[in-house]
């Protein structure tokens, strides 16, 4: 924040570039003048109090919300530009929601294949092969033909991750992926996320799971009242937070 205006030009390495982004809902300012960069292969962890604008910022990145002003460049494409086909950007950006949002009328397999077939135009056979591989990877190959309402929360979230991964996204966004889960299921979801991080996936994670941040995050961003209060490397932010508000918040939740 303090160095806005003298930021270096974005390089090829910056897969997400956010500059002076603002978004309001009526009188509520959800995101205020936020600037942020995410490098390829980096895990960026966003945290902060409820209503701080974390979800809104994340949703702006894949165009579910339209920013009022500012610049937002995702993988070299200026998302805020009017003529940009946002669907093309979205296919490259996977999103995992707090409440899973699985498609209840499709089986686990169907959830993972539908966009592959309709958006990526893969054959049914190819899409199913990819889907089964991903189900294997999230540890539930036997659930291919089960409908979402017969899966536990943790299993649903893992299918949701497989659904997003099936599109071979360059970036994965997570909006509090474990907040709606019972404690015993949180680990199975975090484990998949940890694997992803190890494989070098670019991830932007909104969460309260500080254990995950310590284990996997490269950088952490503290967001409050729509503003980026502090942004630092993970160790630095944990050991030596510069801002008083960050310190207060961390002391409450750790």
Partner 1 sequence: MAVTTKTDERESKLLPWTERLSEVPWWALIILLLGALVVYFIIVSPTYQDAFLFLVAGVKITIGVSLISFFLALILGLVLGLGRVSKNVVFYTLSSLYIELVRGIPILVLLIYFAWVVTPLFLQFLNWFGTALANVAVGPLVGLAENMATLAIQDVDMVVRAIVGLSFAYAAFEAEVFRAGIQSIQRGQMEAARSVGMSYFQGMRYIILPQAIRRVLPPLGNDFIAMLKDSSLISVLAVRELTHLGKLNRARTFRTFETWNTVAFLYLILTLSLSIFVKFMERRMAYEE
Ligand X SMILES: Nc1ncnc2c1ncn2[C@@H]1O[C@H](COP(=O)(O)OP(=O)(O)OP(=O)(O)O)[C@@H](O)[C@H]1O
Binding residues vs partner 1 (CB under 8 A) = 62-64, 87-88, 90-95, 97, 99, 101-105, 114-115, 118-120, 160, 163-164, 166-167
- Those residues with Cβ within 8 angstroms of residue 227's Cβ, 6 or more apart along the chain or in another chain: 1, 32, 33, 34, 53
Q: Using CA atoms, how far apart are residues 142 and 140, in angstroms rounded to an integer?
A: 5
Return the number of the residue (71 or 98) whose C-beta is nearest ligand X: 98
- Give alpha helix (H) positions in the chain: 54-61, 86-92, 108-118, 124-137, 153-165, 183-198, 210-216, 234-239, 244-253
How far lies 185's CA from each of 57, 146, 203, in Å?
27, 18, 21
Q: Using CA atoms, how far apart are residues 89 and 45, in angstroms rounded to an integer?
A: 21
**One of 50, 85, 240, 251 touching ligand X (CB under 6 A):** 50
Q: At what angle do helices 108-118 and 153-165 cross, to 10 degrees?
A: 20
Here the contacts of 33-37 (C-beta below 8 Å, separation 24 or greater) are 33/1, 33/4, 33/70, 33/227, 34/70, 34/223, 34/226, 34/227, 34/228, 35/1, 35/4, 35/7, 35/228, 36/221, 36/228, 36/231, 37/10
Piece of the chain touching Mg ion by CB under 5 A; list 11-19, 47-55, 113-121, 187-195: 47-55
**One of 1, 13, 51, 119 touching ligand X (CB under 6 A):** 51
94 makes contact, choosing from ligand X, Mg ion, partner 1, none, with CB < 5 to 8 Å by partner type, with partner 1
What x/- string results for residues 1 through 40 when contact with ligand X is judged by CB under 6 A?
Answer: ------------------------x--x-x----------
What x/- string results for residues 108 through 147 when contact with Mg ion is judged by CB under 5 A?
Answer: ----------------------------------------
Q: Is 55 in the site for Mg ion (CB under 5 A)?
A: yes
Q: Using CA atoms, how far apart are residues 240 and 254, in angstroms rounded to an integer?
A: 14
Piece of the chain touching ligand X by CB under 6 A; list 47-55, 69-77, 129-137, 239-247: 47-55
Piece of the chain touching Mg ion by CB under 5 A; list 37-45, 53-61, 108-116, 226-234: 53-61
Return the number of the residue (8 or 26) whose C-beta is nearest Mg ion: 26
> Please, what is the minimum distance in Å from the beta carbon of residue 28 to ligand X?
5
213 makes contact, choosing from partner 1, ligand X, Mg ion, none, with CB < 5 to 8 Å by partner type, with none
Binding site for ligand X (CB under 6 A): 25, 28, 30, 50-56
């Amino acid at each position: 924040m303090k160095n806005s205006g003298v930021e270096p030009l974005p390089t090829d390495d910056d897969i997400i570039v956010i500059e002076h982004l603002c978004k309001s809902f009526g009188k509520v300012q959800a995101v205020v003048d936020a600037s942020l960069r995410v490098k390829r292969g980096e895990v960026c962890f966003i945290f902060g109090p409820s209503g701080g604008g974390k979800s809104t910022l994340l949703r702006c990145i894949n165009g579910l919300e339209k920013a009022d002003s500012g610049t937002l460049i995702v993988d070299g494409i200026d998302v805020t530009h009017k003529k940009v086909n946002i669907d093309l950007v979205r296919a490259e950006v996977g999103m995992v929601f707090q409440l899973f949002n699985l498609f209840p009328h499709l089986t686990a397999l169907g959830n993972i294949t539908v966009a592959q077939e309709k958006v990526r135009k893969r054959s049914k056979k190819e899409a199913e092969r990819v889907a089964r591989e991903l189900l294997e990877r999230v540890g539930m190959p036997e659930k291919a033909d089960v409908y979402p309402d017969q899966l536990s929360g943790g299993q649903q979230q893992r299918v949701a991750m497989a659904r997003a991964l099936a599109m071979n996204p360059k970036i994965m966004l997570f909006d509090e992926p474990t907040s709606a889960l019972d404690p015993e299921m949180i680990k199975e979801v975090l484990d998949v996320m940890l694997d992803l991080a190890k494989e070098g996936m670019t991830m932007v994670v909104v969460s309260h799971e500080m254990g995950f941040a310590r284990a996997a995050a490269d950088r952490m961003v503290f967001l409050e009242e729509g503003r980026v209060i502090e942004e630092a490397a993970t160790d630095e932010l944990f050991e030596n937070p510069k801002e008083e508000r960050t310190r207060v918040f961390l002391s409450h939740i750790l």
